[in-house]
Structure 1
């Protein structure tokens, strides 16, 4: 990027770089101690960017996403995974696959976490808000400056809560199987988004979980074959297993 004159970098990072902190909510000062390969890879990329920046005037913004849900409200974009990736996608995609009968039911991994209902707790951020965070980051990016921000709602929801919201949004009966936990999943992760609010004037606006899922479900029903047979090998997004990210 430097060789081609790129002056601004907005990097998509993740809350998984924090691992499983002792204190909630997570701030940008929370130690980064990832416990799974995804979080470790993102942490390595952040480190590379920060090391490079020591001798560069590139404007850098690092956005640590929490769990992304939803679709474009205008119906242009939604989750449409390549077939080989369905098994590794988002919880929302898994719920929709179950609701559409693509899979026989939903597999929830882990019911013995130290949370109120035993399932993982995550901070679900609507993709529309995430897009807005990118726009705000781009507007505020300054040469020679690094900004690091959590992008979340500041509220945690359990997997069971999410599944109930998905049932409500789809109006479908969804069979749920509870399985042993998956290694590398964190019990509880949610953000403190005060820094991005104070510095970028960004706050999540789409915080009604059921409503975000209704928008995404509308896209799923309108696009039963994703982006069409011709593009089926190049689409992106959903899943048959609930795997908190």
Structure 2
């Protein structure tokens, strides 16, 4: 190679020897060049190792390819109370499960329990992500071969929704739009949507059927109805299989004591009545606050249809089994009977064995007097009916988990029943 790069001012001692038009490079330069190659190779190898160890890098992941006879279900909000119970049931039934949760309301401890129960490769994976980030959601769909989506992820407190409505429209309505768009883009054609009886508002006639007019009276119910409308409008011009489950007040926990309900302490004020009862029974709060005693009901307190979480997830699995392309199913999931708040409190006292102090306060904004379901359609079409309809028994099961997990999904404690 001819060397025109150096001028004559270069000292002769530093110039390479030339013979017959060929340069003989300086040995020091050769050593530097080889060293740089070795360093680059080492850095490349290190990067590859780090990428392979990263959860997001696995080009041959079982979750990224379809397998005959295996249904891969994305469970959004799968670290939450209901979502984790649904994931447990799906795993028990040999489904492949991917949980996506941003842990704003869910518990990583619940995911760890599921991972310990189902450690086999290709059974369960957890992805930390926010459904409000379209890029993250599209990446998840691109890297995983989903057959169906069970969409649980949502903030879900009526009282909180009246105080911070925009959070609910973003978290429920907007996020559902992101999920449906990703499903359309990546051709995932089965959606089981976790909706609520709050979309009905306060109907004049009981029990509530699927034909009851939806007139929600709080932002939670309105946001859920908007999400339903998005799904239904999209389904009209697609071949999507859609099942919408409007369920009522959820109680109970896994009968084998593996999972339970552990809401954030700062959300206790907005939480379910069962959680408040247990907190009062454990002395975490001084007593139970019952809001509203002047409703047009037999004892003046609200009447609700309480559905055990085990029955609820069974309804979701049956909906998945019956989902068909191009078909839409809408079902109420409840027991078909209502219980008043006062009746619920008495059942909780018996279940816990604690004479819980009760304070009666004015109504909470956005609440309605009486809501219970007519579940005959889901029985007729999906052969589903609630099996756990005794309030006290469901509360006793949940209480056992509460007693043995005083720190929620922190360090479990062994407590005799």
With structure 2 as the length reference, what TM-score do the two structures score? 0.55
Q: Partner of 1:2: helix, strand, or coil?
A: helix
Match of 1:37 in 2: 219
Q: What is the distance in 1 between the residues matched to 2:268 and 2:370?
A: 24
Q: Does 1:153 align with 2:335?
A: yes
Q: Deviations over 1:67-125 (max 9, x none)?
A: 00000001111011122222211110000000000000000000000000000000000
Equivalent of residue 108 in structure 1, options 287, 290, 300: 290
The Cα shift of 1:4 comes to 2.1
Q: What is the distance in 2 between the residues matched to 1:98 and 1:60?
A: 40
Q: What is the distance in 2 between the residues matched to 1:53 and 1:59?
A: 8
* Residue ranges of structure 1 left out of the alignment (5+ in a row): 230-245
Match of 2:230 in 1: 48
Q: What is the distance in 2 between the residues matched to 1:75 and 1:31?
A: 39
How many equivalent pairs are there? 230
Q: Deviations over 1:144-169 (max 9, x none)?
A: 00000000000000000000000000
Moved over 3 A (4+): none
Q: What is the distance in 1 between the residues matched to 2:187 and 2:307?
A: 32
Match of 2:244 in 1: 62
* Residue ranges of structure 2 left out of the alignment (5+ in a row): 1-182, 412-417
Q: Partner of 1:32: helix, strand, or coil?
A: coil
Match of 2:207 in 1: 25
Q: Partner of 1:221: helix, strand, or coil?
A: helix
Q: Deviations over 1:33-54 (max 9, x none)?
A: 0001110000000000001111
Higher share of residues assigned helix: 2
- After superposition, residues 139-218 of structure 1 pair within 5 angstroms as 139-218=321-400
Computing the radius of gyration over CA atoms, which structure comes out larger, 1 or 2?
2
The Cα shift of 1:218 comes to 0.3
